[in-house]
Amino acid sequence: MSNFSCKMFDNLILKSPLILASGISGNSDGLLIRAAKSGAAAVTTKGVTLKYQKGAENPVSTDWGPGLITNLGLSNPGIESMAYMIKTFRNEMGDQTIPIFVNIHGESAEEYAEIARLIAPSHPDLLEIDLPFPDETLAQEITHAVIENASGIPISVKISADYPKIGQLAKVIEDAGADAISAINSMKGLIVDAYAAKPFLSSGVGGISGPAIKPIALYCISEIYQAVNIPVIGTGGVLTGLDMAEMMMAGATIVGIGSALYYSGYGAFSQIMNEFETFMKSEGYQSASELVGKIWR
């Protein structure tokens, strides 16, 4: 295969379009290192907040058949521990320059700004704003606040399918100065334990991920790709190399996996890349960039 490298920005080129998405495996430097050594072209931390958060009580996740539903309650070590995680990750990877993206979560624009200011000296390769508010005004305000405090670190904003005009929301975020859009976040859902007559998860509502949301992710990525001129980080239900190709054809420049690690372990990275390479060869593609947005060109 001639070229799997993938250019996100002028100063950020990945060895392939396949990365670790935020969520399922980014809560410690050890798990980030394992993902990188398993083939991830970049790794994304789980959402980090200003202070340590314990998270929800068990049960926090279940496989309900078509996908997973999870609510960990933003369990994370807090921003003070993130600098140590980044340093440990880079020391362990050595000459293997695998970028590290930090997903950040706040309750207000001011809190997002503070997190960005505190993490900027550690120089992550990208800050991913986890945007829980499907609101254009707040999205613009939060994006501005993070950019002003990020010391030039590229910014991606992660949005969910909850917003009915997701392409329009992405355009607002682009106009606010974001360098990329991440889509989609998990979608809210509820699983009921009929025998116990209560929600299965301790927190009630959870985020649906895995194969069940792939068609929704493809639709949203398509809408975003056609609305903006910045890269899209595509996530949501990718389990195979063909899934990855489909997501790139819909408009994703790079593709993140999370639930795939639940189904296939860390071998998912090599499995998906091998299947992706087989598809590329069979269809005569010479580079990954040829796929991006192909169904709309």
| pLDDT at residue 26, rounded to an integer | 58
204: in domain: no
Please compute the mean of the pLDDT values over residues 9-35 and round it to a whole number. 89
Residue 217 lies in a domain: yes
Range 205-229 average pLDDT: 97
Q: For residue 193, is pLDDT > 80?
A: yes
115 upstream amide cis, omega within 30 of 0: no
227 within some domain: yes
Q: What is the predicted pLDDT for the residue at 76?
A: 87
In a domain, 106, yes or no: yes
Q: Is residue 243 part of a domain?
A: yes
State the average pLDDT over residues 208-233: 98
Residues 63-77: pLDDT tens digits? 999 999 999 878 888
CATH of the domain at 22: 3.20.20.70
Query: Per mean pLDDT, which range of 90-94, 126-130, 217-221 is the poorest?
Result: 90-94
pLDDT digits 0-9 by tens, 199-209: 999 989 999 99
**pTM here?**
0.95
Report the number of distinct structural domains present in the chain.
1
Residue 65 falls inside a structural domain: no
Buried b (16+ CB within 10 A) or exposed e, 138-150: ebbbbbbbbbebb
User: Which of the two residues, 11 and 245, has the higher pLDDT score?
Assistant: 245
Band the pLDDT of 95: cuts 50, 70, 90. confident
134 burial level (CB within 10 Å; 0-12, 13-18, 19+): middle
Span 179-190, average pLDDT: 96
Residue 226 covered by a domain: yes
pLDDT at 2 over 50: no
User: How many residues does this entry show for the chain?
Assistant: 297
pLDDT in tens, 148-157: 999 999 999 9
| Contact between 94 and 83 (Cβ < 8 Å) | no
The whole-number pLDDT of residue 1 equals 38
Domain that holds residue 88: 6-55+73-186+210-296
Residue 203 domain-assigned?
no
Query: What is the average pLDDT value for the chain, to the nearest integer?
Result: 94
Rg, the chain, Cα only? 18
CA–CA distance, 10 with 87 (Å, rounded to integer): 24
